[in-house]
Amino acid sequence: AKTPLNKMLLYPPVPLLLLCRISLCQYSSDQCSWKGSGLTHEGHTRDVEQVYLRCSQGSLEWLYPTGAIIVNLRPNTLSPAAARLSVCIKPSKDSTGTNIYLDRNGKLRLLLREQDQAEGKVHCFSIREGALFIEAVPHTDISRRITAFQYELVSDRLRAEAQSPGAPCQPCSDAEMLLAVCTNDFVARGTIKTVGPEEDHASVSVEISHLYRQKTHVFVSGGVRVRSWTGNIKMPLQCGVKSGEGEFLFTGTVRFGEAWMGCAPRYKDFLRLYHEAQLQGTNPCHVETD
């Protein structure tokens, strides 16, 4: 097996400002994303540059890759809980030109080959496993090659869900349903318009009449004077969801900008359950039901 750049032994720290001047790199204002070019590596393709990304989510884009970069994904916190995080990356389907390794104290483990990145699948690893070592694959023509991916930091217990976010195709328990309304990334009341297959999942087109919460703008407003939103929610094909009449309460998670369905009871069933829990004083949170 090929050993990248002679096992990447030791590299002295280089000031961030100098690195940016060398590589013409550009961080976003919040230092969540990075965009750089490998064109300045010509003639010294063994250069290794350090990239530091300190947010819970962001992106990286490396144009015309040559040499290598080390991507340090670290949350901007000193909390002990940071050690129990996992990093999930989702390559762009056009990503090419590099192999991606995990680098822990100079020891490399292959994470993604160049040809694997086009699948666009999510890959996760513990933050304790090290940084990302991204090495350019030699090509005579690098002009069409760009390595790009999104990343998210998630708790270790949510790692499996992040890699395959579709919930199992079984009804949620009453307790799970009430908790989902309080903790999920989105909570919305609405109807199912259409259902269409997309590769290994179904895309459910919904119209929302009441938007309780959304982590990011997965549902788009119909306008200032229109109290409705539209969007798409993904779920496994085997769940066999169908469009039909009636209102639902949609809950779920947002992964890499995409909404994935969690609990989705009929709204009338949720109302009954919520009011019963309200009488018993067992509601985990308050929800406007008017």
**Residue 245 belongs to a domain with what CATH number?**
2.40.50.120
CB 169, CB 261: distance < 8 Å: no
150 lies in the same domain as 176: no
**Rounded Cα distance, 198 and 70, in Å:** 34
Q: Are residues 147 and 178 both part of a single domain?
A: no
CATH of the domain at 75: 2.60.120.290
For 48-67, b where at least 16 C-beta lie within 10 A, e where not — what string? Answer: bbebebbbebbbbbbbbbbb
Q: Are 154 and 162 in contact (CB under 8 A)?
A: yes
Is 19 a member of any domain?
A: no
In whole angstroms, what is the distance from residue 131 CA to residue 101 CA? 8
Largest separation between any pair of C-alpha atoms in the chain: 73
Q: Of 154, 124, 225, 232, whose CA–CA distance to 186 is shortest? A: 232
Q: pTM of this prediction? A: 0.72
User: How far lies 287's CA from each of 42, 210, 256, 270, 282, in Å?
Assistant: 59, 12, 27, 11, 13
Same domain, yes or no: 148 and 200: no
User: Domain limits at 233?
Assistant: 165-280
Within a domain: residue 262? yes
174 with 265, same domain: the answer is yes
The answer on 173 and 81 residing in a single domain is no
Q: How far is CA 88 from CA 111, 126, 129, 152, in A?
A: 12, 9, 12, 5
Q: pLDDT tens digits for the chain (290 residues)?
A: 444 544 443 334 444 444 444 445 688 877 899 999 887 655 455 668 899 998 889 999 999 999 999 999 887 766 666 777 889 999 999 999 999 999 999 999 999 999 999 999 999 999 999 999 999 998 878 778 999 999 998 876 666 665 666 556 778 899 999 999 999 999 999 999 999 888 778 899 999 999 999 988 999 998 777 789 999 999 887 777 777 778 999 999 898 989 999 899 999 999 999 999 999 999 899 888 87
Q: How many Å separate Cα 49 from the centre of its chain?
A: 24
159, 180, 209 — which closes off a domain? 159
Q: How many other CB atoms are found less than 10 A from the CB of residue 87?
A: 24
Please indicate, yes or no, if residue 9 is contained in any of the structural domains. no
Alpha-carbon distance 88 to 122, whole Å? Answer: 6
Structure-block tokens of residue 224:
């200032």
Name the one residue in this structure whose structure tokens are 């992964």: 255
* Single-letter amino acid code for the residue at 239: C
